[in-house]
Structure 1
Amino acid sequence: MSSFIHKVKSLISELSAQNVSRIFTIATTSKGEEEPYLTPLRVTRDFAVAGCVIFKQECLLDIIELVDGAVDIVLVDTEKKIPLSINKQALLASDSIYLKRNTIGPVETGNLSKICFQQISKSATFEFKPNDLTVNSAWSFLSQRLGVLSGKRIAILGAGNIGSKLALKLVECGADVHIYRQQAHVGYQITNGLNLIKHENTVSNITFHNSLLSTSFSADVVVGCTNGVPIIDNEVIQTVKKNALVVDLGKNNITADAIKLAIKNKLEIYRVDVTAALEGFIYEMLKMRDVLNSSYGKKALSFCNIVSGGYLGEDGDVIVDDISKPSVIYGVANGAGSIKKSLSSAENEIIAKLKKEVCLC
């Protein structure tokens, strides 16, 4: 573990040297790999981001000690993917994450976000959901690569958290989605649930199959969504369409022989890249922070109230872009979450006065 911590230290040093907002991510996966690993440094015009993926809490305090104050923002995985277990390492006095618990033994709860929020004091800490970023990345790629999703037959092999979320997004776009899961009884329940959740006017459905090959048969796209188990093999490749797209939604979802067969038949293989989704999420997170810190809320003026940032206005409140320095007037709230379509003479006078005396219009 000391070797990994040394690598984390080097990565943080490289990240902290960047002249933009510096962001470090701490994530985990349900694959339960042997060793933790680093995620690459990505530098944009506005921020630089790098991070690590860990599978036990035992090294978390060491990472926090290195990262707190060395970066501007820490993004921590809020999804609970580490199973409960007993920590087998010798406890030190500094192991507060174990000693403060009310259990007899040192229990690994897998709650990374809670520990980070408790322990990090110098850097800003925010939660993020890597699984959702993976789903969004896959959906965005398929949408743009295929041009239109409606009518495409898409096979998802592995209907867990990620596969199920992707299935819902795809069927909502009109795709003909077929899913497979080894635990058939669970797969049927997931399928029924997703078909109930999708919009009632969505004609397309999600179909569950007991057979792997019937799932992938004649598919335009076959997606491997297992926890590192190679599920797309030679037989699966033989069942898809001649111009099918093969997607690895993670790691090691395709056997080596299947890759060779796909390449031999000139099939395109895509290994999902989360760069676009991660960067998009960071911009969203930074914008939401700015909204909550500066423009969200309600402000009383001498002649009216103004609201902005999504704050629900009461009947007659004026909706603006920023209550601290309004420059755009969107309208007058009707008190029910919408904008009035017609204004009274008194409300028009308020708008005129607001433009003249307050707004930077």
Structure 2
Amino acid sequence: MELNEILHNEHKYLKKFNYSSIMISTTAKHALDFRVLPRRNIPGVMAISCFMINDENMLKDTLSFFDGKINNFYIDVELKQNLNLLKVAKEVIQRSKLVTVKPNDTTIESCDLLIRNYFDDNLFNKKIIIIGTGNLASKMAVRLAERQAKIYLIGRSRERENRHIGALNLFLPKYSSLIQSVEELQSKEKVDLIVSFLSGKFTKDDILFPLIHQDTLIIDGGINNFSNDFIQEMLLKNVQITRLDTRIALPYQFLSTHEYTNNFFNDVYGQSIIQGVSVAAGGYIGKVGTVIVDSIKQPNQVIGIADGSGGVKKSEQLSETDRNRLHQIEKFISTCNKTII
């Protein structure tokens, strides 16, 4: 099927929806110049057609075709190929909105949600093997360790493994269990979870077999990480093995355009003047004497008086002027709430 025909088919699908978008990504693996990926749909919100593009001319043709016909372009900002999708998109897109996304972050969020769902949000003392020492494997190892799991890493070599383990442990909260090498597991110990994030096949099945029991969950996060023999063995033993579907965390990619996020920046964050008094909210650091509230547009709570250094003055530090300002804003909030009621 020719490119133009493919694009027309996707446009025909998107026209059925009031709000539509295009998502364009690339991959670190060897891939085709152009590929249509599964469509994504957030019921009641938007429909999304997805493409993986590794050819600049095909990218420009796709962007030009949909520009102005859809609401948003979601563009993969991660540089995984010698093609800067964002740079080209900024040159071509004139009418639709351009929004950058990081698929790696969505992958991590999806994996995290899948694991939490499987273990009923209880990772305490769960024994987890992470296969890989790259971007995704490292992020997942730290996140699950922070969820109080016991993490065991498998790298391409013991030297690389040790280097990554040492680095990752520097990021963990003080009282977390340290990430260790899989070699620290006792031969008869069983693990609760195995997560693989490799760019190729895992070839050390003999390490895993003794550590797996019927309730072990195995996640192929890198896609096609496990051999056919390994998968067949797991299926015969009724061990759950699954590929990671990143649609799980699809809403995460759209937080920057979500109504809640927009409301935060428009109504909550910043500084303003109320009744002649300077107020700040949402983490905005105001000058000393500024009244800190929960929202600059419709405050409902007074937090205190800014000390000018990002903190809040203690009660004994408040001047008469400070107390008057607090009283003015509290009175304003009280009056507004009565009006609303």
Q: Output the TM-score relative to the length of structure 1.
A: 0.80
Residue 346 of structure 1 corresponds to 324
Residue equivalent to 1:265: 237
Counterpart of 1:32 (choices 30, 35, 52) is: 30
Which residue of 212, 221, 234 corresponds with 1:249? 221
Contact map agreement 1:75 1:128 (CA 8 A) in 2: yes
State how far apart, in whole Å, the 2-side matches of 1:60 and 1:214 are.
Answer: 51
Match of 1:121 in 2: 94
CA distance in 2, matches of 1:314, 1:295: 18
Q: 1:171 aligns with which of 145, 164, 187?
A: 145
Matches within 5 A, 1:268-283: 268-283=240-255
Name the SS for the 1:316 alignment partner.
Answer: coil
Question: Is the alpha carbon distance of 1:239 and 1:282 closer, same or farther for their aligned partners in structure 2, counting shifts above 3 Å?
Answer: same
Gaps of 5+ in 2: none
- Change over 3 Å in CA distance of 1:235–1:353 after alignment to 2: closer
Residue in 1 that maps onto 2:333? 355
| 1:229 positional shift | 2.6
Q: Which residue matches 1:99?
A: none
Identify the residue that residue 305 of structure 1 maps to in structure 2.
Answer: 278
2:303 aligned to which of 331, 334, 337: 331
5 Å-filtered alignment, 1:229-248, equals 229=201, 231=203, 233=205, 236-237=208-209, 239-248=211-220
Aligned pairs for 1:72-151 within 5 A = 72-82=71-81, 109-147=82-120, 148-151=122-125
1:288 aligns with 2:261: yes
- Aligned CA distance change for structure 1 residues 223 and 214 (closer, same or farther; 3 Å): farther
CA distance in 2, matches of 1:74, 1:232: 41
Q: 1:351 to 1:340 in 2, by over 3 A?
A: farther
**Quick one: structure 1 residues 80 and 6, their matched pair in 2 at CA, closer, same or farther if it must change by over 3 Å?**
same
Give the 3 Å change call, closer, same or farther, for CA 152–24 of structure 1 in structure 2.
same
Measure how far apart 1:170 and its partner are.
0.8
Contact 1:320 1:326 in 2 (8 A): no
> What residue number does 1:159 align with?
133
Distance in 1 (alpha carbons) for counterparts of 2:264 and 2:91: 24
Corresponding residue number in structure 2 for 1:47: 46
**CA deviation digits over 1:153-182, x for unaligned, max 9?**
111222211111101101111211112222
CA contact (8 A) 2:14 2:47 kept: yes
Cα deviation for residue 301 of structure 1 reads 4.2
Q: Which whole-Å deviations, capped at 9, do the CAs of 1:51-73 have from their partners, x for residues lacking one?
A: 21223434211121122212211
Out of 350-359 and 262-271, give the one that drifted further.
350-359
Identical aligned residues as a percent = 25
CA offsets 1:159-210 (integer angstroms, 9 cap, x no match) = 21111110110111121111222254433322211011111221x1212358
Instruction: Report deviation, 1:50.
Output: 2.9
Shift of 1:234: 7.3
- TM-score norm. by structure 2 comes to 0.84
Distance 2:7 2:202 in 1: 29
Stretch of structure 1 that moved more, 267-276 or 300-309: 300-309
Structure 1 residue 81 displacement after superposition: 0.8
DSSP 3-state at the match of 1:189 = helix
Aligned position for 2:6: 7
Q: By how many angstroms is 1:270 displaced? A: 2.0
The aligned amino acid for 2:324 is A
Residues in 2 aligned to 1:77 and 1:57: alpha-carbon distance in whole angstroms: 14
| C-alpha distance in 2 between matches for 1:123 and 1:282 | 16
Q: Conserved in 1, the CA contact under 8 Å of 2:22 and 2:50?
A: yes
Partner Cα distance (1:54, 1:216) in 2: 46
Distance 1:28 1:132 in 2: 14
Aligned partners of 1:320 and 1:327 also within 8 Å:
yes
Distance 1:14 1:215 in 2: 54
Following superposition, the deviation at residue 215 of structure 1 comes to 10
Mapped to 1, the partners of 2:188 and 2:265 lie a distance apart of 46
Q: Which has the higher mean CA deviation after the structures are superposed, 40-49 or 149-158?
A: 40-49
Q: How big is the shift at 1:7?
A: 2.3
User: For structure 1, which runs of at least 5 residues remain unmatched after alignment?
Assistant: 83-108
Q: Does the aligned pair in 2 maintain the 1:209–1:215 contact within 8 Å?
A: no
Give the Cα–Cα distance (whole angstroms) in 2 for the partners of residues 157 and 215 of structure 1.
Answer: 18
SS of alignment partner, residue 197 of structure 1: coil
For residues 188 and 194 of structure 2, what CA distance do their matches in structure 1 show? 6
